[in-house]
């Protein structure tokens, strides 16, 4: 029994040793991920936390920025990318970019404000792969086509169910194409000319990335015989933004 006995001081010492080992392991991991600063300590990472919101339904306001900065204990420089919609916060932190983004989301929980954190190093991206509907353009093309033939509400309901994850992409497309079967070709040109608008900033995004050497690709869905018709509509749109 004596071999299993430890004094309180011995137990306390062992706890301290285990705690110290745990801390050292954490800092070693951070050192591997981030390296040292210029002085050789602190292991701080330079990163940018971007807050993104819907300017119409929930504008991003200075109070949101202040709340995040207060919690993260930073007074970093801010750069508004779009008024009431997106803002960059420049941060020096020992935390990983993933942890910073998670903390920011927690601070802003209930606000529907999205967060993304990236390291300043290699922040400029070299590849852009983009969808078209509600990304490069303001509309969902298939919803507009459905509305043009008097089935707008039915098509939109299917689209909404897809967005909510209630049905699969294949099922949604099958149901919508069944409803639109027999649609006249001339309606494509009519919808393109009268209903489709480029999203603000789409051309600037693509052209800026291309200027700095990025590759920009469009994502195209192929749906049997409908492909040629939809591609005929989408091709001039992609040409406008420079893809």
Task: Residue 214: give the domain boundaries.
Answer: 125-139+196-243
Given a cut of 90, whether residue 14 has pLDDT beyond it is no
pLDDT of 73 reads 82
Domain co-membership, 134 together with 147: no
> Does the pLDDT value for residue 186 go beyond 50?
yes
Q: Are residues 129 and 243 in the same domain?
A: yes
Q: Which helix (H) or strand (E) holds 110?
A: none
Please state the domain count of the chain.
3
User: Are 168 and 62 in the same domain?
Assistant: no
Q: Dump pLDDT digits (tens) for 187-232.
A: 888 888 899 898 888 888 888 988 888 888 766 544 333 444 445 4
- What's the confidence (pLDDT) of residue 233? 54
The answer on 129 and 203 residing in a single domain is: yes
Helix axis angle, 186-195 to 141-148, nearest 10° = 110
Say if pTM beats, i.e. exceeds, 0.85.
Answer: no
Same domain, 119 and 64: yes
59 and 75 housed in the same domain: yes
**One domain for residues 73 and 153:** no
Please tell me what DSSP assigns to residue 199.
P
Residue 98 lies in a domain: yes
Please enumerate, as own/partner, the contacts of 229-233 that have beta carbons within 8 Å and a separation of 24 or more.
229/185, 229/188, 230/141, 230/188, 232/188, 233/141, 233/188, 233/189, 233/191, 233/192, 233/196
User: Angle at CA 37, nearest 5°, toward 35 and 38?
Assistant: 130
Same domain, 62 and 102: yes
pLDDT band at 118 (very low <50, low <70, confident <90, very high): very high
């Amino acid at each position: 029994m004596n071999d299993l006995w430890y004094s309180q001081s011995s137990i306390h010492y062992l706890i301290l040793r285990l705690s110290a080992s745990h801390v050292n392991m954490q800092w070693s991991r951070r050192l591997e991920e981030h390296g040292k600063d210029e002085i050789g300590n602190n292991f701080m990472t330079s990163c940018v936390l971007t807050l993104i919101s819907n300017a119409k339904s929930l504008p991003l306001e200075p109070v949101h920025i202040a709340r995040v900065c207060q919690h993260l204990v930073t007074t970093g420089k801010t750069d508004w990318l779009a008024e009431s919609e997106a803002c960059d916060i420049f941060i020096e932190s020992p935390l990983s970019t993933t942890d910073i983004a998670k903390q920011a989301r927690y601070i802003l929980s209930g606000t529907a404000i999205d967060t993304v954190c990236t390291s300043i190093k290699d922040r400029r991206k070299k590849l852009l792969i983009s969808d078209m509907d509600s990304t490069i353009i303001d509309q969902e093309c298939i919803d507009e086509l459905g509305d043009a033939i008097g089935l707008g509400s039915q098509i939109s309901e299917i689209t909404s169910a897809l967005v909510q994850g209630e049905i699969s992409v294949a099922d949604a497309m099958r149901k919508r194409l069944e409803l639109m079967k027999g649609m006249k070709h001339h309606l494509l040109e009519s919808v393109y000319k009268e209903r489709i608008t480029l999203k603000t900033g789409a051309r600037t995004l693509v052209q800026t990335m291309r200027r700095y050497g990025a590759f920009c690709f469009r994502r195209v869905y192929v749906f049997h015989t409908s492909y040629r018709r939809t591609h005929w509509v989408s091709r001039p749109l992609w040409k406008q933004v420079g893809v």
